[in-house]
Chain A
Amino acid sequence: MLIPPPPARPSKPLPLELVNVTKRFGTFVANDNISLKVPPGTFHALLGENGAGKSTLVKCVMGFHQADEGNIVIDGHSRDIKSPYDAYQFGIGMVYQHFTLVPAMTVAENLVLSRPDTPGIINWKAEMERLRTFMKTAPFQVDLETPAAQLAAGQKQKVEILKQLYLDSKFLILDEPTSVLTPSEADEVLGLIKEKVNLGDFSVLLITHKFREIFGFCDEITVLRRGKFAGAGRVKDLTADDVAAMMMGGRRETKIVAKAARERGAPALELKGLCANKDNGVPAVADVNLTVHEGEVVGIAGVSGNGQRELVEVLAGQRPATSGEVRVHGEPYRATRKESNDHEVFLLPEEPLRNGCVPQMSVAENLALRSFDRAPMVRAGCLVSRGAIRKNGQELIGRYSIKTRSPETPIGELSGGNVQRAVLARELGSGTAKVLITANPCFGLDFAAVESIHAQITEARNRGVAVLLVSEDLDELLALADRLLVISHGEFVYETTPSNADIRTIGHHMAGH
């Protein structure tokens, strides 16, 4: 059969259909016989828990992977997409979950470099002219001369989307594009894209797990579960419960732990006039004052990059404070090993593999990082008992259902969710925590894992632990926190309680107005 060549960069979105796509990695089946259909000018959501195979599926469309079986049908013909360049030729472009901007380059350089047809020698005057003309019609504005490294996360995400518009992509694949945006920014960005979709200018395939986005913007959904097709339908025919049931497969094991009513206890963690710098020496945290009491969860909301990371790193002992002090139970606290043991200060950092684990060491050894230098793991004063480490490891692996081949497997080989679970087991397993500091504990985890971690945090709070919860997920903060602070440009700009919280007001403060 003669397959007509693709039109030279389509000016309208082409219909795209996946027919019985199967992708295997070794013996592992990442996608098992998946079909889905995106007619031109529709907003399609692809849902599923972590590891359900959503990313693998769209990477087959983008040409990063080749499907082992099945067809990718574009404009009525089965197509062979071998590289992202082939996808580009069909007008397909993807906005990745992780930013793909070159940090040291300006927005303009990033946009120009992303175009495959950029000439070898760049006439910057003409290119800037062209970019300015493009920006006049763009849905959002970003300064072209700013280096990408200096953009806030929300702006970076906008540049990523602008990049696809600049490339004249007609079929946009968006991989959880709103995870770094405030709710109002997310609504703005998706709303502007939705308008263009309604005009028939684009088709969108949105990977998400946020129900408000599905019911707010999408026309149709396809749900994957463990690599298999788990359901599909038109959004207007579905309820949230239907969608949840498709994603979870009808099971909802974890119970939601209720917050026990309790009196606020004594101050446990106090920050007084705390300041800290970013890596490049620019101030990141400016004169922060905060008290967390026993049995209280204090949530810190904010768009990423507003000093949260630096604040948590100071509390973790990874970054020096430039001024101010931290007190735990009234005593100065500099996050030494002795102090954190004496005061039972525990930490669930973001990116746990980087901030809380030694990737090459085994799961059991990582689970012992807190306690390997104390009895019962130390015998005769200085000898570490490998038996005790293994026993502790096996016990925690069982109790927290960490999926690992053996306790001796290097922890770096575990999936993100299991690394997070291992750190949680290490920090909360002993049950002695008095202060818990946690940053984005559920980032990138699936439903079940999120519920279990939320339950652990609430249980800890009910036991009287003082919890500082730094998160970019407002829903999480509203569910768990007793008090909520908003951080913007390294300062606390707003305080409220979840019962009085108004999402719009919080979003307003997050955006720094």
Chain B
Amino acid sequence: MNAESIGWWGVVIGILAGAVRGGTPFLLVSLGECLTEKSGKINLGLEGTLLVGAMTAYAVSYKTGNPWIGATAAAGAGAALGSIHAFLVSRPKVNDIAAGIAMLIFGSGLSFFLGKPFIQPSAPQLPGIPLGAWSSTPQIQAALKFSPLFFLGVVVAFAMHWFFRTTRWGMQVRAVGDSPAAARAMGISVGRTRFLSIVGGSALAGLGGAHLSLFYPGAWTEAISSGQGLMAVALVIFARWNPKHCLYASLVFGGAQAVGPSLQAVGISTGYYLWNASPYILTLAVMVLTCSPRRTLIGAPGALGSNA
């Protein structure tokens, strides 16, 4: 079989595989944001965390020769950035949005600054998990090679859903995010819960960065994240703060990202850049459709973004 013979199937498979490949950073970042927002704080800096994660993963993988150490370091770097944000927003009268934007700029600046020497060399990549062995077509085999971090993300999505419903710590996070006053009355430490949620969420976002630089696209460049960290915030709203829905929403966003390249692969390049803009258009559409001044969002943590 040759490339032409898959034809339009190639587009479908391309979009499906792209949904998984391109959706993984969305998934990890949105899960991180979901955890953070469930505790009542917003972290817009996850875009910066994503970049720092990508840079750290690549650099550490290059230096140590082991991509797994790179991915772990990315999570650690994410957690470190998260702890700065968590400290900032725990101060009275500090606004999460402003602190988040500052962290976004800080994170991207930091990764560009430290990442300069790693743009050229090539670092060992995370091994893909092949699910296309049933097919003899190399394109299908290549398309169905998935990132191990995607499977990690799926596990985390279901685990987080379970965590929020059936563990005391998960319920404490929800209580803190929905009504800090009630949480305090129950003897829950609001500050500590939020700190840990923000740090944990940022570590997940750092892992999302590792997927970018160590799997797909699989190199370190400064344009690697292209706003995915910010889109993930919109995605959490779309997913109504439900980790399982974050998974589905990430796949939709990832798929939208893959439409342009998949069409180009079969020779359709009309509107290539327009198709590439589809995740952004989707973000806007989600915001317009789901937000109304006439009612509050169902599922939104009650104290989200407040300084209570």
Contact = CB atoms under 8 A, between A and B. Distances in A.
Contacts of B294: 277, 281, 320
Contacts of A114: 186
Interface string B136-177: 000000000000000000000000000000111101101100
B183 interface: yes
Interface stretch (A120-128, A191-199, A242-250, A303-311): A120-128
A134 interface: no
Contacts of A101: 179, 182
A120 B169 contact: yes
B302 interface: yes
A253 interface: no
B302 A103 contact: yes
Given A96-B185, A101-B182, A277-B294, A122 B174 contact: no
Contact of A113 (B172, B296, B301): B172
Interface string B171-201: 1101100110111011100000000000000
Contact of A102 (B167, B174, B298, B299): B174
A428 interface: no
Interface string A263-298: 000000000000001111100000000000000000
A280 B178 CA distance: 16
Given A281-B294, A281-B295, A100 B186 contact: yes
Interface residues of B, number: 23
Q: Which of B167, B171, B182 is the most central at the interface, judged by chain A CB atoms within 10 Å of its CB?
A: B182
A278 B296 CA distance: 9
Given A83-B187, A113-B168, A113-B172, A104 B302 contact: yes
Contacts of B166: 121-122, 124
SS class, residues of chain A in contact with chain B:
loop
Contacts of A280: 295-296, 298
Contact of A103 (B168, B179, B185, B186): B179
Nearest to B188: A113
Interface residues of A, number: 30
A118 B185 contact: no
Given A113-B175, A320-B294, A102 B182 contact: yes
A119 B168 contact: yes
B186 A98 contact: no
B171 A109 contact: yes
Q: Please indicate which of the listed interface residues B175, B299, B302 has the most CB atoms of chain A within 10 Å of its own CB.
A: B175
B301 A104 contact: yes
B125 to A, nearest CB: 37
Nearest to B294: A281
Contacts of A281: 294-295
Interface in B281-308: 294-296, 298-299, 301-302
Contacts of B187: 83-85, 88, 116
B296 to A, nearest CB: 5
A113 B298 CA distance: 22
A105 B178 contact: yes
Contact of B175 (A102, A119, A278, A320): A102
Contacts of B298: 280
A99 interface: yes
Contacts of B302: 103-104
Contacts, number: 66
Interface in B195-213: none
A116 B171 CA distance: 13
B182 A99 contact: yes
A85 B174 CA distance: 21
A103 B180 CA distance: 11
A100 B179 CA distance: 8
B296 A98 contact: no
A383 B167 CA distance: 60
A100 B295 contact: no
A130 to B, nearest CB: 15
A251 B70 CA distance: 76
Given A83-B187, A280-B296, A100 B181 contact: yes
A360 to B, nearest CB: 12
Nearest to B177: A104
A113 B186 contact: yes
Interface in A298-328: 320
Contacts of B296: 279-280
A280 to B, nearest CB: 5
B162 to A, nearest CB: 9
B295 A122 contact: no
Interface string A112-149: 11101011111010000000000000000000000000
Residue of A96, A99, A104 ringed by the most chain B CB atoms within 10 A: A104
Contacts of B168: 113, 118-122
A396 B246 CA distance: 55
Contacts of A116: 187
Given A122-B167, A320-B294, A102 B178 contact: yes
A88 B185 CA distance: 12
Nearest to A63: B187
A102 B295 contact: no
Contacts of A120: 167-169
A347 B171 CA distance: 41
Contacts of A121: 166-168
Contacts of B182: 99-102
A114 B185 CA distance: 9
A309 to B, nearest CB: 14
B176 to A, nearest CB: 9
B232 to A, nearest CB: 22
8 tightest CB-CB pairs across the interface, nearest first? A100-B185, A281-B295, A100-B182, A102-B175, A104-B178, A279-B296, A113-B171, A102-B178
Interface of A: 83-85, 88, 96, 98-105, 109, 112-114, 116, 118-122, 124, 277-281, 320
Given A113-B171, A113-B172, A320-B294, 18 more contacts: A83-B187, A84-B185, A101-B179, A102-B182, A104-B174, A104-B178, A104-B302, A109-B171, A112-B171, A113-B186, A118-B168, A119-B168, A121-B167, A122-B166, A122-B171, A278-B295, A281-B294, A281-B295
6 contacts: A88-B187, A102-B174, A113-B186, A120-B167, A121-B167, A279-B296
